[in-house]
Amino acid sequence: MPAKSRFTRLDAFTKTVEDARIRTTSGGVVTIASLLIVLYLVWGEWSDYRRIVVHPELIVDKGRGERMEIHLNISFPQIPCELLTLDVMDVSGEQQTGVKHGISKVHLAPALQGGMPIEIKALDLHGDEPASHLDPSYCGECYGPPAPPTASKPGCCQTCEEVREAYAAVSWAFGKGEGVQQCEREHYSEKLEAQRDQGCRIEGGFRVNKVIGNFHIAPGRSFSNGMMHVHDLNNYLDPSQGSHTFTHTIHHLRFGPQLPDDLTKRVGEKTLGWTNHHLNPLDNTVQSTDDAAFNYMYFLKVVSTSYYPLGWKSKGTTGDITPDYVSIGQHGLGSDGSLETHQYSVTSHKRSLKGGTDEGHKERLHAVGGIPGVFFSYDISPMKVINREERTKTFTGFLTGVCAVIGGTLTVAAAIDRAFYEGATRIKKLHQR
């Protein structure tokens, strides 16, 4: 016999000689069954290790100097595009009047004709070359106010649009341009009349400061009169222009980028805590009225929300200052797969600007006056939700689980096999008596 090693006395797994072992049919069945169970449970451990879940965290939003994008798609079947203006303002004092960058106005056929989109270029009221044929020495009159700073020729109003801008700059109502040479030359009144029964869809996105603010879609050009923000409602309320109302459909309204569909599928259906907020509460909202002097107000509470993919590491940056060169629609989309967006809740209110009481609630009195339109007031929550992709267990945890599965299964199988063997032995002894 070989010399005994000093480790022999430490052997916790003592062996029996082959002659002392007894193999039984029941033991073979238990062995096969235990192996199948081990394989099944190990596969379950592997699937659990590979599964990715989203772990939500709630923290205080410490970002400074941030901006966010608002994307919208709203149809107004009873107002032509020429009468609609999108304005944005916030508590920091920043105002964006007549927002055009990133926004498209799609002209819609009258509702009785199906309300389908119409070619935009054919409906351009002002055109691209209304003054190209004029004498180079021509200097159009602005009819009272000074020429706007954006005029194509300093000190002159060469087009109907420039006259309108000059009027808006001094808070004067413009109307349909009667008696204005530039507007008569461009047939502004006739083109406005041709659009009287058409609708409009406003779609696109714009960027705002991440502070309390509002944006609204209202009729006529906007301007400031003292400390008041007002709109030129002459053409909107003109009976000869037909009956305009702010019946509208909000097809889509969101703050920040949308969670990509492939990302939603990869995260899985069990993480509805993350994906559910992208069912924006105002999507597919329909409001209708027969009153031209009607006001719709939506009050939104916006919560910053971040999504970090598996393996994402912080780069140590603070704040989320968006460079001006980042195009609309790209803000919040990180090259590393991270996503900075927002979710929101909403309450709404609507009222007639003529005042009066609610039907069935005579104790509720509405104030008289205001601007007809659709107004969105948003407030920023001080909290931030972080959704981080994580595995349910580490690789060490996976190995621990595999060892536990193998050890536990074999231990239970050995106990079952021992029970079968002892039972069979006792039954055999009883038959031998």
Alpha-carbon distance of 413 to 420, in angstroms, equals: 11
Extract the tokens encoding 405.
Answer: 């599965």
Exposure class string for 200-226: b at 16+ Cβ within 10 A, else e: bbbbbbbbbbbeebbbbbbbbbbbeee
- What single letter denotes the amino acid at residue 299? F
Side-chain-side CA neighbours of 325 within 13 Å: the count stands at 0
| pLDDT per residue rounded down to tens, the chain (433 residues) | 455 667 766 656 666 666 666 777 777 888 888 899 999 999 999 988 888 877 888 889 888 778 889 999 999 998 888 889 899 999 888 888 888 888 888 888 887 777 788 755 444 455 544 455 567 778 888 888 888 888 888 888 888 888 888 887 777 777 777 888 888 888 888 877 777 788 899 999 998 999 999 999 998 887 776 677 878 787 787 766 667 889 999 999 999 888 766 666 655 454 444 445 457 889 999 999 988 888 999 999 999 988 888 877 766 544 445 555 667 767 777 777 788 889 899 999 888 888 766 665 565 666 677 889 999 999 999 999 888 888 888 889 889 999 999 999 888 888 888 888 788 788 877 777 6
- The phi and psi torsions of 424 (rounded to 5 degrees) equal -65, -40
- What single letter denotes the amino acid at residue 146? P
Q: Provide the Cα torsion 129, 130, 135, 140; round to 10°.
A: -130
Side-chain-side CA neighbours of 156 within 13 Å: the count stands at 14
- The phi and psi torsions of 391 (rounded to 5 degrees) equal -85, 150
- What single letter denotes the amino acid at residue 55? H
Q: Residue 284 burial (CB < 10 Å; 0-12/13-18/19+)? A: exposed
Extract the tokens encoding 387.
Answer: 């959704």
How many beta carbons lie within 10 A of that of residue 241, not counting itself?
Answer: 18
**Which residues are bridge partners to 57 per DSSP?**
386
**Which residues are bridge partners to 301 per DSSP?**
345, 379
Apex CA 62: angle with CA 61 and CA 65, to 5°? 110
Largest interatomic CA distance in the chain: 133
Residue 253 DSSP one-character state: E
